[in-house]
Chain A
Amino acid sequence: MKRHLDLRVPGAVALLLAAAGLAWHGQPDIAQKWDLLAPEFTQQLTEREVYIDPGELLQLMNNDYIDLLIFDVRNESDWNQFHLVDAEHINLAELPAQRDRLLSLPENAVLVVVSNDEMLATEAWQHLMVIARPNAYILAGGLNLWLNIYGVPEEEVAGHGKANLARPDGTLRHRFTLSLGNRHAAARPDEHRTAPRAYTAKVKLLKKIVKAGGCS
């Protein structure tokens, strides 16, 4: 009589050992995942392909065809002092909770991460690439550069003092005596009243926007 090789018990033991090994080994955290993904994305950072000029962000803020999201990843104190209109205050620890939302963004969505300079925003961008790989960019020079460009001098009497360039990297170098939030004129500058800036456009849409309606 022909005997079949019974692999049920060895198979079950092998699977159990593999699962036990997995429980012991664990899953990579965000930093470890970034280490694995880094070869794929580091060039975009080193070549500054994802750092967009404040002029490009201003253009995006005034483009009705784009679903723009602005993630402000600074601390609450800096956020209260000044932030952009329509920006969302999300710190790094809260980014994983945004995964479902980021994965379901429409093809015309553009996400811009802002911080005081570029350091924290770059870290947040790395987290975003690990979490959901959205079409995300970083504000070049951060809000310090933004305020250098769009923070007009008259506002010194309305809670916005002179910039203190001696302050360390990563901090808000513009001094605010009031928590202006998005009530500051630079929170959404009038595109038509600001001096045009020369910049290289870097934002690429996943879907080409057709600026036409009806049957045309």
Chain B
Amino acid sequence: MAPFDIAVNLGAGAYYFIYLPIGFAFGFILESSGFGDSRQLAAQFYFRELRVLKVMFTAIIVAMTLIFWSTALGLLDYDMIWVNPTYLWPGIAGGLIMGVGFILGGYCPGTSLVSVATLKIDGMFFLLGLVAGVVLFGETVSYIDAFWHSSDMGTFTLPELLHLETGVVVFLVVCLALVMFIGFEWLRGRLYGSSR
């Protein structure tokens, strides 16, 4: 039953090389979806361009459905998958900072790497700023340690929040995503008078 310990089963060399095709596929999909262009990414926030929402949310709901069907069929042990613990207020603050950075800069960390791979100058400067921000944060996080580790909720997922079966939550999230896709398309048509 998955997840398999690849480092043990295949050895350290194969373990590292598995990341190469995964990374290649991820970068390929991002670039071919147009995620290497900051103008298209930033347009998401003005409802002119919905591909970020559609591609990302589709990836999330497809992966989610596959993961939980795999656990339901006994192919995957979900309990052995790492789920990030929730630190509520630091998470909200971090999300706001990243969101503002995304709107202003036109990239998130991953898409800035995609843009650099296609030699976009704005992506290169964004990446420089990103590295500087990472270093600055790493050097100063000890000063905000109390906040950084506050509101620790452990591994907290939607089924626990809603007190519903995991499968029901998956169904509701898929419904939510589809309603959002339709709703935002409608909104875009109202705002800009076109529909794609």
| A residues lining the B interface (CB < 8 Å) | 12, 15-16, 18-28, 33, 36-37, 40, 99-100, 130-133
Contacts and interface: CB of A to CB of B under 8 A. Distances in A.
A26 B165 contact: yes
Contacts of B71: 27-28
Contacts of B79: 33, 99, 130-132
Contact of A19 (B65, B154, B181): B65
A25 B72 contact: yes
Interface in B146-187: 154-155, 165-168, 170-171, 173-175, 178, 181
B171 A20 contact: yes
Nearest to B66: A18
B65 A25 contact: no
A26 B1 contact: no
Nearest to A11: B58
B77 A23 contact: no
Contacts of A99: 79, 155
B77 A33 contact: yes
B167 A24 contact: yes
Nearest to A97: B154
B121 interface: no
5 contacts: A15-B65, A15-B178, A19-B173, A22-B167, A28-B74
Indicate the size class of the contact surface on chain B: 20 to 34
Contacts of B80: 133
Contacts of B181: 12
A146 B138 CA distance: 51
B68 A100 contact: no
Contacts of A15: 61-62, 65, 174, 178
B15 interface: no
Please indicate which of the listed interface residues B166, B173, B174 has the most CB atoms of chain A within 10 Å of its own CB.
B174
B62 A40 contact: no
Contacts of B155: 99-100
B69 interface: yes
Contact of A22 (B78, B85, B171, B175): B171
Given A22-B65, A23-B168, A37 B1 contact: yes
Contacts of A40: 1
B72 A28 contact: yes
Contacts of A20: 171
A37 B2 CA distance: 11
B72 A37 contact: no
B38 to A, nearest CB: 26
Please indicate which of the listed interface residues A19, A131, A132 has the most CB atoms of chain B within 10 Å of its own CB.
A19
B115 to A, nearest CB: 26
Interface string B47-89: 0000000000000011001001101101001111000010000
A27 B71 CA distance: 7
Contact of B167 (A25, A36, A100, A130): A25
Given A18-B65, A25-B167, 17 more contacts: A12-B178, A12-B181, A15-B62, A15-B178, A16-B178, A19-B61, A19-B167, A19-B170, A19-B175, A21-B69, A22-B170, A27-B68, A28-B74, A33-B77, A36-B74, A37-B1, A100-B154
